Amino acid sequence: MSEQRDELMKLLSDEELDLFILTGGIDMDIADQMRENVIGITKIPIGVAENFIINGNPELVPIATEEKSVIMQASIGAGLVPEGFKATTSGNIMIGQIQVLEVPDMDAAEEAILAEKAALLVDANTLSRSRKAVDLQVKRLDTAVGEMLIVEVFADVRDSMGANLIDSMCELLAPTIARITGGRTLLPILSNLATKRTVTLTTRVPVELIGPAVVNDIIAADAFAWADPYRASTSNKGVMNGIIGVLLATSNDTRAVEAGAHSFASITGTYRPLTKWRKDGNGDLVGTLEIPMGIGTVGGVIQSHKLAQVVLRLMNVETASDLAMIAGSVGLASNLGALYIMVTEGIKSIQA
């Protein structure tokens, strides 16, 4: 047992240790309340990624994964950056969309919605005392079934993931939107492409630590991914290995984040890597990652999953932004660790 893992286990009470080792945090009664038609419970191993420094603070990071070497790659990547990772978030704005069909006059409909914007936001904000809609915008789409109007609601969901609130806001506004536009509303739904809720990471690997040849090879490997979507797909899978592991350990919606990440990777019209590696003036390797992160630390399954609550406590996480910065750092570290291994020893060296 590593020193850091031993240190983490000492922070657990006997009851919390049982959650990790025996129950996994849920029993059949809890599982039945969480999901329909439950017939059993599956368990995923949780390990600890080491060597992480995020915004100057050392971090021990629990990762839930069934895949061999994911935690090793993240730990190796984190160990290559003595100054750690610098992380920032853009806020907690999630986006909802209301689809409007059969609009008789698009120009008039768009003008009417924007004229009623303030009133629409007031209506949306009757649903929550603390999480509020902050903006409303309109766009047109040319589609295979004709032109349609899309009304987008932007809400600050704070530390929740926000899906239920956003869906409720859109459903509440849909009849009013139909009346204002003279059209027919169809889908009122959250978007998982959370472009207003991103996390950005930067890190630096000193050239003295890995040598100029390895710096150049990692940049060349990265260039391969930027030139070829087939390679970009696997590169991004490596990023998500780490991110999804952190989110699974904290009972967040991994499918939502995965969908948003891959949509973000192709938002320019070409599928691209989520990471970028370059060389600075000193010859050091500099890496960046930007990714949407629609996650929460309150609400949903997190409230009922005891193990998720313990994991959040162990990570000293209080806000959704805190969790996003940790998850993003693990994603960038995972990418770096995988690239370093591939250009030096080869990926099979850790898969044996």
Q: Which residues contact 281 (CB under 8 A, 6 or more apart)?
A: none
Q: pLDDT-based confidence at 1, cuts 50/70/90? A: very low
pTM for this entry: 0.91
Exposed, middle or buried, 131 (CB in 10 Å: 0-12/13-18/19+)?
A: buried
**Residue with the two structure tokens 């970009």:** 232
Residue 297, CA distances (Å) to 134, 158, 253, 290, 313 in order: 21, 10, 11, 20, 11
pLDDT at site 43: 75
pLDDT at site 22: 58
Q: pLDDT-based confidence at 194, cuts 50/70/90? A: very high
Pair 257, 349: CB distance under 8 Å: no
Kindly report, residue by residue over 298-324, the tens digit of the pLDDT: 987 666 677 788 888 889 999 999 999
Amino acid at 338: A
| Domain boundaries 93-191, corresponding CATH code | 3.30.70.420
pLDDT for residue 295 is more than 80: yes
pLDDT at site 39: 63
Of 225, 236, 224, residue with least CA distance to 292:
236
Kindly report, residue by residue over 71-84, the tens digit of the pLDDT: 999 999 999 999 99
- The mean pLDDT of the chain is 92
| Sequence spans of domains, the chain | 3-90+197-350, 93-191
Which CATH number fits the domain 3-90+197-350, given the four candidates 1.10.3720.10, 1.10.1200.10, 1.10.600.10, 3.90.770.10? 3.90.770.10
Whole-angstrom distance, CA of residue 138 vs CA of residue 111: 9
Kindly report, residue by residue over 255-293, the tens digit of the pLDDT: 999 999 999 999 999 999 999 999 999 999 999 999 999
For residue 298 the two structure tokens come to 């309150």
pLDDT for residue 56 is more than 50: yes
For residue 321, how far is the Cα from the chain centroid? 11
Ordered DSSP codes for 122-190: HHHTTS-SSSEEEEEEEEEEEETTEEEEEEEEEEE-TTB--HHHHHHHHHHHHHHHHHHHSSEEEEEEE
**Residue with the two structure tokens 């509303």:** 185
Kindly report, residue by residue over 174-193, the tens digit of the pLDDT: 999 999 999 999 999 999 99
87 in the Ramachandran plot: left (φ > 0), alpha (ψ -120 to 50) or beta? Answer: beta
Q: Which residues contact 319 (CB under 8 A, 6 or more apart)?
A: 159, 297
Pair 182, 105: CB distance under 8 Å: yes
pLDDT at site 21: 64
pLDDT at site 351: 59
Whole-angstrom distance, CA of residue 309 vs CA of residue 300: 12
